[in-house]
Amino acid sequence: MDFFRKINNGYMSGSKKESTLFELRRSIAANHKETVDYQPGTLVDGVPVPLIVMEPRGGGNEKDRLKKIEAPPGSVFRLGSKVGCFGLMWLVTEVNYNQEIKLQGVMKLCNYALSWQEADGSVVVEDCVVSRYQTAATGEDAGKVVSLDNTRRNVLVQFNERTARLRQSMRFFIDLEGLGEPKVYRLTDLDRTSFILDGAGLFRLVCAEDEVVPGDRPDLMLADYIEPVSVVASPSIGSCKIVFNGDAALRVGGSQKEFRAVFFDGSGAEILSLSPSWDVVLPPGLDVNQISVLCQSDPCVVRVGAVGGAGHKFMLRVVADDYSYGYFESEVPLSVVPLW
């Protein structure tokens, strides 16, 4: 058995299946760049992930708006991920459940930017997939009759901290901007379960055509317009925060995640001259060698990865002490999760 593992480069395997999967993943990774469908410049949730982007088989009206995608072993995309490809934005609408060998999925072209306002008047803009509402006839003699409802729209939008605050009866402009008298729609059905997998995914919105009322702003494409609230920052207290894309999780053996420290003075203006220090606060059982922290040329940026410790949580901390601006400190809790 030891000799078998040696010749198959499967030292970490405990069975013939694991050795075979190891060889398949290594072969796929080695040949990933050889296909004509290889797209090295793709971004998944803002992180570079080289994908293979393929045309789906068969015909259909949506063929040009739908692509099959594959990621090399060790890379990650999730249901609902935003993919920047061909200069356009796409949403991952399907992910294969069996990921032993490679990660596959389907992405759809975002054809609209849905906009609305938060309670404080701040504007949220989300790329989404808008389509006409379809109903299929049922019954023994109905066949495959599909009806389109011109007064309703289906909207697929990424589940994130902003869309999590969507509620039924909210109203949106869904129309081509600049042509006059755009149509407004009311959210009548908010599906927050059908397109969710492993804590990520998509919300499906069903919106019905509504009347434009005096409080709407067609010029801004914002329904139920709210005047923004002016916030005056305290002149004596600064702040610091750590920003990153996606969720607060590191996948074992996956690509490193980038974190950036942003500093503000007492008036709310960003401070660009600080050189902070980074460290991690690890719990018992999580070895320091299992977490990698790679500093960048910009001292406010680090990349953090995990080579082990699945199931553990730890803190990423940034500290800056400056004579002119004072002392800054911020932490973000991170989880270590399996790659697949």
Write down the domain spans for the chain. 2-106, 112-210, 239-337
> Which pLDDT belongs to residue 188?
96
**DSSP-derived pairing of the beta strands 257-264 and 270-271:** antiparallel
On the question of pLDDT at 303 being above 80, the answer is yes
Dist CA 309 CA 265 (whole Å): 37
Please report which confidence band the pLDDT of residue 180 belongs to, taking 50, 70 and 90 as the band edges.
confident
- Tell me the sheet residues that pair with 89: 84
Q: What is the pLDDT of residues 107-137, one digit of tens each?
A: 999 999 999 998 888 889 999 999 998 876 5
On the question of pLDDT at 186 being above 90, the answer is yes
> Which pLDDT belongs to residue 192?
93
**DSSP-derived pairing of the beta strands 249-251 and 326-337:** parallel
> Which pLDDT belongs to residue 172?
97
- Tell me the sheet residues that pair with 4: none
Average pLDDT over residues 249-276: 88
Angle made by CA atoms 106, 111, 116, in degrees to the nearest 5: 115
> Which pLDDT belongs to residue 235?
41
> Which pLDDT belongs to residue 233?
39
Tell me phi and psi for residue 103, to 5 degrees.
-100, 125
- Give pairs for 290-296: CB < 8 Å, separation 24+: 290/336, 291/250, 291/336, 292/256, 294/256
Average pLDDT over residues 101-108: 84
Asked whether 39 and 50 are in contact (CB, 8 A), the reply is yes
- Tell me the sheet residues that pair with 251: 337
Burial 56-65 (b: 16+ CB within 10 A, else e): eeeeeeeeeb
Q: What is the pLDDT of residues 68-90, one digit of tens each?
A: 898 877 677 899 999 998 888 99
The CATH class given to the 2-106 domain equals mainly beta
Express as a percent the part of the chain with pLDDT over 90.
Answer: 36
Average pLDDT over residues 55-77: 73
On the question of pLDDT at 3 being above 70, the answer is no
Asked whether 103 and 128 are in contact (CB, 8 A), the reply is no
> Which pLDDT belongs to residue 33?
55
Dist CA 316 CA 63 (whole Å): 43
> Which pLDDT belongs to residue 205?
96
Tell me phi and psi for residue 74, to 5 degrees.
95, -15
On the question of pLDDT at 232 being above 50, the answer is no
> Which pLDDT belongs to residue 4?
62
Dist CA 171 CA 184 (whole Å): 7
On the question of pLDDT at 260 being above 90, the answer is yes
Helix (H/G/I), strand (E/B), else coil: 70: strand
Please report which confidence band the pLDDT of residue 268 belongs to, taking 50, 70 and 90 as the band edges.
confident
- Give pairs for 125-128: CB < 8 Å, separation 24+: 126/157, 126/158, 126/162, 126/163, 127/82, 127/89, 127/91, 127/157, 127/158, 128/91, 128/155, 128/156, 128/157, 128/158
On the question of pLDDT at 91 being above 50, the answer is yes
Q: What is the pLDDT of the chain when averaged over all its residues?
A: 82
> Side by side, which strands form the sheet with 313-322?
249-251, 326-337, 313-322, 277-281
On the question of pLDDT at 42 being above 70, the answer is yes
- 3-state helix, strand and coil shares in percent for the chain, rounded to the nearest 5: 10, 45, 45
- Minimal CA–CA distance to 134: which of 123, 145, 126? 145
Options 3.30.930.20, 3.20.20.140, 3.30.70.20, 2.60.40.1080; which CATH number does 239-337 get? 2.60.40.1080
Please report which confidence band the pLDDT of residue 144 belongs to, taking 50, 70 and 90 as the band edges.
low
| 285: its two tokens | 């059982």
> Which pLDDT belongs to residue 46?
85
Neighbours of 42 (CB within 10 A): 22
Helix (H/G/I), strand (E/B), else coil: 306: strand
On the question of pLDDT at 285 being above 70, the answer is yes
Dist CA 37 CA 40 (whole Å): 10
> Which pLDDT belongs to residue 93?
94
On the question of pLDDT at 331 being above 80, the answer is yes
Which uninterrupted H or E stretch holds 20? helix 16-31
**DSSP-derived pairing of the beta strands 249-251 and 291-295:** unpaired
Dist CA 322 CA 275 (whole Å): 9
Asked whether 8 and 23 are in contact (CB, 8 A), the reply is yes
